[in-house]
Amino acid sequence: MDYRIRPVRWDDRFVIWMWRNDPQTRRMERSADYVGWDGFKSWLKGSLSDPNRCLLLADTLHDSLAIAQFTLQADGSATIGINMNPRFRGRRLAVQLLENFITDARRTLPFTRLLANIRAENEASRRAFAKAGFVEVNDHDGICAYQRDLC
């Protein structure tokens, strides 16, 4: 499947908000609460202007596939989160998307280590991150911490 990776724009807000409130996404987030529109817009506005954050979107000519969020930490590492368009889940795109998101994010943020926190029951994400070179380093309270060191 041909797609491009690009920075998230303000006009992407509705589709990203819809994905965030998808029932499966909510079950896999730390907080399963519904995210209101005003709160989401405030978060997105802050994220888009934060120099320590990089939001990327993968899209085709006709559809958006996934969003990735990278947040630079004080120690030089970055946290990563990814959310797939519900219509594209299960198509084995996540590993390739992760690799491409990481490549693009490194052009913006100077990280050498990535950290991901994934719910233990989110087997699909755990498999994708493992296949993308992440190693599970901790499991606490149903959250598995994954890490990947980059050269």
Residue 102 inside a domain? The answer is yes
Residue 19 inside a domain? The answer is yes
Predicted TM-score of the model (pTM): 0.94
Residue 39 inside a domain? The answer is yes
Backbone φ and ψ for 101, nearest 5 degrees, come out as -60, -45
Nearest C-alpha neighbor of 65 from the set 130, 5, 14, 148:
5
pLDDT digit string (tens) for 63-84? Answer: 999 999 999 999 999 999 999 9
Residue 138 inside a domain? The answer is no
**Domain membership of residue 28 as a residue range:** 4-112
pLDDT digit string (tens) for 88-142? Answer: 999 999 999 999 999 999 999 999 999 999 999 999 999 999 999 999 999 999 9
Residue 57 inside a domain? The answer is yes
**Dihedral sign (CA 57, 34, 91, 117):** positive
Read off the tokens for 59. 């899209």
pLDDT digit string (tens) for 15-53? Answer: 999 999 988 888 887 777 888 999 999 999 999 999 999
Number of domains the chain is built from: 1
Strands (E), 3-149: 4-7, 53-59, 64-72, 77-84, 113-119, 135-140, 143-149
What is the CATH classification number for the domain harbouring 52?
A: 3.40.630.30
